[in-house]
Amino acid sequence: MTKTACRYGTFLFLIVILISSCSKKAPKQTQYIPKDASAVFSINPKQLFDKLNNNHVNIDSIMKAASDDSTMRWTMEDIKNSGIDMDADVYLFAQQAGSIMSGQNSVLGFVGALRSTSDFEAFLKKKMPSVQFQKASGYSYANLKEGFVAGWNDDAAIITKATSMNMQSGEMNSDDFGASQKALTTYFTQKEDASIASVDAFKDAAKEKADMHLFTSSNAALATIPMLGMSKASDLLKDLYSASTINFEDGRVVMDSKAYMNDMLADTLKKYTGSKVNMDMVDHYPGAVNGFAVFSFDPRLLTAVMNIAGVTTTANQGLQQFGFTVDDVIRAFKGDFAIIFSNFGVEEKASPEYPGIKYKQPAVKMLINAAIGDKASYDKVVAGLAAKGIMVQKDGQYMLKEMAEGTADGYVMNADAKNLIVASDAALLQQYKAGTGKVVLPQGIEDKARGNAMAFYADITSMLNAIPPDTTGQPMMNSAKQTFRDAIITSENINGNSVKGRLELRLVNEKENSLAALSRYFGTVANTIGEMKEMNGMNDDTFGAPKPEDMDTAAMEPPKMEPEK
C-alpha cells in the first residue's frame, strides 16, 4: 500500500513538474510589450555587469564617454538606486503603424521590472529636478525630454518615445508627448493576449539563457506597406519570426538565431531545398583571402515564389523583348554561387575631371563563380542580351559590352559548360580556372562553412592592416586592430518550420571576455570623437541638418534675370 502510494505520488509529482515547465510564462514585464512589435531586444544586466567587473572594466568611465548629457548618463550608483530590478531582464522594443500613404508612426519603448516605485521616482527627480509627476488610469507618468515619457506602476517602468512622419511632405514630428503618453496607456491597460508574452515563438526564445535576446516579427512591416499586404506575397511573409541569443564569451561574441516560417513558406522552402555549399569553389582561389561568401539553393525556388506572388506573367512579358523567359534564366544556373575577395587595400587615384586632385578609394581583387545548370538555357539568355547590345561576343565568349571595350576597370568574364566566372582581372581568372592554386584560410574556418546552405567569412584583421595610417582617427584604428580578428556567419537548410543560423565574431585576445574588449573599444571611439569635436569647436548640432530658422533663404533664391533688350 505504501509502495503504491509512493509510486503514484512520484508519478503525480513528475506530471506537475512537466506541466509547470511546459507552461512557463514569459517574464511579467513582457506583458507591457505590444504583440505587433517589429523588434524586441532584451539584456540581462546582472550577467553583463558581472562580466565587466570580472574583467576590471570601469563601467562609470564607459558611461561618461558614451554621453555628454548628465541626464542620459547613468553611473553604477544610479543604476543600483534607480528602483529598476537589475536582476531581471530589461527590454527595448520598436512598434510601427500606419502606411506609406497615410503616414507612418513608430514607438520606441524601454521596459524594466520595478523593485521600488519610490526609488524610481527619486531617480527621475535626481536626473530632472523640474519633472512633474501625473496620474493616469492605473499608472503614473512624467514628461521627460525630447518627446520621451516615463510611466510606471507597481510592477514595471516604461519609457516611450513616439514619432510620426508625413510621407508626402517628409516632415517628422519627434517631440509628441501626447502620442508617447497615449502609447503608455495602451501598454499599461492591454490584456496579455495583446502582448508579446502571448506569442509562442517569443516565449520559447525567452526560455533560452543568454546575455541578450533579439526577437523580430514581419507583421508590423507588412502592415506599413499596403501594396505588399494586398498581394499574394504577403501570404509568404506574414507571421515570420526570428529569435536570437547573444552571448559574450572569452575571445568571441556568438549569436545563435532561429527563423520561424509560416506553413506556406516552410512548405515551399522544403520542396525546393538546395544542397550544401560547394567549398571547392573557394578552394581553387590562389592564396590568402580577405573573405568569401558561398551559398547554395534550388533556383526553382525563385519561380515558386514568383508564382505565389503572381508576378511571373508580368516578368515574362518584360523579358519577351530579349527572347527568353524566367524559366530560361532559372534553368541556366545550378544554384551554387561563390564570391571571393583578396588583396584589400586603399589606392590613391587622380580625378578624371581634375587630374591635379587626388583621392583615395578602396581596392580589392574579386572573383564571382556561378555554377551553370543547363548550358543551352544559358546560351539562350546571353544571346538574347547580345541581340539588345547588352552583351557582345569576343574571342568566342559572350561578355558584357563594357568588359569587351575595356571600360569595366579590368573586370573580365568567362563561361564554359560548368561555370560562369567574373574576375577583377584576367590573370586572376586564368589562375583560378587552371585549378593549380590553393586558398589560404585560418584553421577551422572551412570546416565551419561546410555543411551549411550559406556561409560568409571576413578576415577583419587583414583589412584593417591594409588601411594606411591617418592621424585624424588613428586611436580608433589602433584600437580596432587590437580588438577585432574575424567573423563567420552560417545558415542551415530548413528543418521543420525553422532555419538555424549562427554568427561568430572572434576577437584578438582569446583570453579576455569579449564584452570587456568591446567596451574598451567603444570607449576609445567615444573619447576620440569627443576630442575631435572639441578640437574643431564642434557640438552635436554640427553633425545635424541645418534648421530652417538658421538658413538664409534669400541667399538660396535663384538670381533674377533681366529681360534682354
Is residue 492 included in any domain, yes or no? Answer: no
Is residue 280 included in any domain, yes or no? Answer: yes
Tell me the Cα Rg of the chain: 29
Is residue 82 included in any domain, yes or no? Answer: yes
**Does 299 lie in the same domain as 193?**
no
User: Strands 212-217 and 139-143, how do they pair?
Assistant: unpaired
Nearest to 44 by CA among 247, 253, 254: 247
pLDDT, the chain, mean: 84
**Does 201 lie in the same domain as 279?**
no
**Does 278 lie in the same domain as 209?**
no
Cα–Cα–Cα angle for 65, 71, 74, rounded to 5 degrees:
55
CA–CA distance, 506 with 486 (Å, rounded to integer): 5
**Does 301 lie in the same domain as 185?**
no
Residuewise pLDDT in 10s, the chain (565 residues): 444 444 444 443 433 333 333 444 668 889 999 998 999 999 998 888 888 888 887 766 666 655 555 555 567 777 888 999 989 999 999 998 765 555 578 899 999 999 999 999 999 999 899 999 999 989 999 999 888 999 999 999 999 999 886 655 556 666 778 889 999 999 999 999 999 999 888 888 888 889 999 999 887 767 666 555 556 777 888 888 999 999 999 999 999 999 999 999 999 999 999 889 999 999 999 999 999 999 999 999 999 999 988 889 999 999 999 999 999 999 999 999 999 999 999 888 877 777 778 888 889 999 999 999 999 999 999 999 999 999 999 888 899 999 988 888 899 999 999 999 999 999 999 999 998 889 999 999 999 999 999 999 999 999 999 988 875 578 899 999 999 999 999 999 999 999 999 999 999 999 999 999 999 998 888 888 877 777 766 554 444 444 444 444 333 344 444 444 3
Q: What is the pLDDT of residues 497-547, one digit of tens each?
A: 999 999 999 999 999 999 999 999 988 888 888 777 777 665 544 444 444
Q: Which DSSP string do the residues of 173-230 spell out, in sequence order?
A: E---HHHHHHHHHHHHH--GGGBGGG-HHHHHHHTS--SEEEEEESHHHHHT-HHHHT
* Backbone phi and psi for residue 463, each to the nearest 5 degrees, phi listed first: -75, -40
**Does 300 lie in the same domain as 200?**
no
Is residue 495 included in any domain, yes or no? Answer: no
CA–CA distance, 150 with 180 (Å, rounded to integer): 9
Q: What is the pLDDT of residues 222-269, one digit of tens each?
A: 766 655 555 677 788 888 899 999 999 999 999 999 999 999 999 999
Q: 431, 458, 485: which is the final residue of a domain?
A: 458
Residue 529: per-residue pLDDT: 83
Torsion sign over Cα 149, 151, 157, 160: negative
CA–CA distance, 157 with 175 (Å, rounded to integer): 20
Per the structure, the complete domain to which residue 284 belongs is given by 274-458
**In contact, 506 and 520? CB cutoff 8 Å:** no
Residue 96: per-residue pLDDT: 83
Residue 294: per-residue pLDDT: 98
Is residue 442 included in any domain, yes or no? Answer: yes
Domain count, the chain: 2
**Does 61 lie in the same domain as 194?**
yes
Q: Which amino acid is present at 278?
A: N
Q: Which DSSP string do the residues of 401-420 spell out, in sequence order?
A: HHHHHT-STT-EEEE-SSEE
Q: 416, 432, 458: which is the final residue of a domain?
A: 458
Nearest to 34 by CA among 260, 185, 142, 143: 185
> What distance, in Å, lies between the first and last C-alpha atoms of the chain?
122
Nearest to 140 by CA among 78, 194, 96, 185: 185
CA–CA distance, 178 with 172 (Å, rounded to integer): 15
Could you tell me how many residues make up the chain? Answer: 565
CB-neighbour burial class of residue 338 (10 A; exposed 0-12, middle 13-18, buried 19+): buried
- Tracing cell 510592477 back to the chain, one arrives at 155
**Does 300 lie in the same domain as 211?**
no
Is residue 528 included in any domain, yes or no? Answer: no
CB-neighbour burial class of residue 138 (10 A; exposed 0-12, middle 13-18, buried 19+): exposed
Is residue 361 included in any domain, yes or no? Answer: yes
**In contact, 39 and 45? CB cutoff 8 Å:** no
**In contact, 421 and 433? CB cutoff 8 Å:** yes
**Does 139 lie in the same domain as 281?**
no
CA–CA distance, 285 with 283 (Å, rounded to integer): 6
Q: 216, 245, 262: which is the final residue of a domain?
A: 216
SS3 call for 256? strand
Residue 18: per-residue pLDDT: 37
Torsion sign over Cα 10, 15, 18, 19: negative
In angstroms, the Cα distances linking 238 to 100, 261, 363 are 18, 9, 41
Grid coordinates representing 61 are 568611465
**Does 299 lie in the same domain as 173?**
no
**Does 279 lie in the same domain as 189?**
no
Is residue 377 included in any domain, yes or no? Answer: yes
CB-neighbour burial class of residue 462 (10 A; exposed 0-12, middle 13-18, buried 19+): middle
Question: Which residues are registered as beta bridge partners of 246?
Answer: 212, 255
CA–CA distance, 333 with 453 (Å, rounded to integer): 16
**Does 340 lie in the same domain as 202?**
no
CA–CA distance, 385 with 400 (Å, rounded to integer): 9
Question: pTM for this one?
Answer: 0.83
Q: How far is CA 275 from its chain centroid?
A: 26
Residue 23: per-residue pLDDT: 41
Nearest to 281 by CA among 398, 153, 418: 418
Nearest to 284 by CA among 435, 422, 416: 435
